[in-house]
Amino acid sequence: MPDMATVVGGLADAFTLTNFFYIVLGVTLGQVIAAIPGLGTVMALAIVIPFTLALDTLTAVAFLISISKGGTVGGAVSAILLNTPGSAEAAATTFDGHPMAKKGQAGKAMKYSLYYSIFGDVSSDIVLILVAAPLATVALKMGPIEICALMVLAFTVISGLVGASMIKGFIAVGFGLLMGSVGLDPGYGTPRFTFGSFELYDGIPLGPLALGMLAVSVIIREISKMTRGHAGDSTLIVLPAENQRVTMKELLANRYVAFRAFVIGTVIGAIPGLGSSTAGMLSYSVTKQTAKDPEKFGTGDPRGIAASETANSAVVGANLIPLLTLGIPGNIGAALLVGAFVIHGVQPGPLLFEQQGRLVYGLFGAMLLANLANLMVGQFCMRLWAKVISAPATVVYPSALIVCSTGMYLITGSSAGVLFMVASAAVGFAMISFGYPFVAFIVAFILTPQLESAIVQAVRIADGDWWIILRHPIAIALLVLSAVLVVYLTPTKKKGEVAPA
């Protein structure tokens, strides 16, 4: 457990003018990009990560987390006004948000989404701050054999819960492990899969891969939809000019719904493989099923907005729990944060609290500050975002492609970065088209170095005696749980059920 000087020093590091500027900038970018249908928070993170190289570690990570927090607010804008969620996590918000807008209460619906989103976000951040250090202390007692078993469990969970086929999930994980092994072997230092290219000795760079797979491939897919005439035809509802305030009494009327949604979102966020969209949908479904008047849902009931927005925002803080304590990202957003940490020479995991405790608590302070900035920006800029989302897609997507290409060239200083990005975009487009979850691929790619190091250490400890695992009950329990999940989740796919994306 860190001492009080570390905690106070870290919190003080967060409250600087530079950090506050980037936090406000990140929240603003997250809100406006997530408000535009087809873009979303993940794309914003993928585009911005290369530009954080010039920032110090705390400022860079605070900037990226602020984008993620802003995205949970911005996605509700188009969900309410266009009946088209700007990001996947706001899908359940459309069920009651858009009907409220059609009743002339668009401003009221957007205020509900903002306030409940902030509540869920702040609450999950508090949970993260309270449980992260104790969990990291427990994780420190795990050796390389336990870490290998934990990685197997993480890959099993992600493969089983992301996408519609566990087999495709395992294939995506395997492909991610293969791509992550490009470069020098950690045990012997010999090059692997480099094909004589010195650019690959350090492995495939994360920046171009993430940008190409998570941003460019999605942009190309959306452009292809436009060319086939599948672009959305939703009509934008104009925000009314009259007073659309939400009173404290109206907010507190749904306090039990919001609290339950916060619990659901926090639990979902702490489980690797699940995400904000799952939390929002599950919370909305539970709220509707337990209501005395479920017929009112879908007609513009504020409880639907409270259930969706509180839950999907609670995931933002909770998905950092496995990242900071175990080094395992909970979703794509957290996986990109791993990339930001690694770029700045910091390895997420239980040792982070011991070696970089001040940085961790600086991050916690920045997260709380980002919540305040999120509320301020959302309060004053919602009407502006309503105008932004009316921009034609024929302008938005080509502009995003230009920004991606130019930024990658400037950051890498050569055309090699752009070529990596284009190749990754082609792979990402193929994976999307054939139903292979690139979430599993990205997580496996990022965790490969950590897994390889643990395997090398475990092999040296075993020294040929593989029965040594019998002396590690935690590892056995994790492997047994992995096998149980494979048996349990595989029949689910065969019955035609679709897992949450």
SS3 label, residue 495: coil
* pLDDT string in tens for the chain (501-residue length): 566 777 888 888 888 899 999 999 999 998 888 777 767 777 778 778 777 877 888 898 899 899 988 888 888 887 888 777 666 677 788 888 888 888 888 888 888 989 999 999 999 999 988 888 887 777 777 778 888 888 888 788 777 766 667 788 888 888 888 888 888 877 677 888 887 777 777 778 777 787 787 778 877 877 777 666 555 445 555 555 555 678 888 888 888 999 999 998 888 888 766 667 778 888 888 888 888 888 888 888 889 889 888 988 888 888 888 888 877 776 777 777 777 777 777 778 777 887 888 888 899 999 999 999 999 998 887 777 767 666 666 777 777 778 777 767 766 666 777 888 888 888 888 887 888 877 788 878 878 887 888 888 887 877 777 777 777 888 888 888 888 888 776 654 444 444 444
85: left (phi over 0), alpha (psi -120 to 50) or beta: beta
Distance CA 279, CA 267 (A): 9
Contact call for residues 324 and 136 (beta carbons, < 8 A): yes
Q: 191, 184 in Cβ contact below 8 A?
A: yes
The identity of residue 119, as a single letter, is F
The runs of H, that is alpha helices, within 15-163 are: 17-35, 41-48, 57-81, 94-102, 106-139, 144-161
Q: Which helix (H) or strand (E) holds 103?
A: none
Q: How far apart are CA 157 and CA 200, in angstroms?
A: 30
Round to whole Å and give the CA distance between 85 and 122: 23
Q: What is the signed CA dihedral for 191, 192, 197, 203, rounded to 10 degrees?
A: -90
Phi, psi torsion values for 183, nearest 5 degrees: 120, -150
pTM of the entire predicted model: 0.76
Largest CA distance in the chain: 76
Structure tokens, 452: 């390889």
Residue in 136, 214, 216, 178 with CA at minimum distance from that of residue 452: 178
Domain chopping of the chain, boundaries = 4-227+244-489
Residue 46's alpha-carbon distances to 34, 88, 404, in angstroms, are 13, 16, 9
Whether 389 and 78 have beta carbons less than 8 Å apart is answered as yes
Angle formed at CA 376 by CA 372 and CA 378, multiple of 5 degrees: 115
Q: Compute φ and ψ for 274, nearest 5 degrees.
A: -95, 165
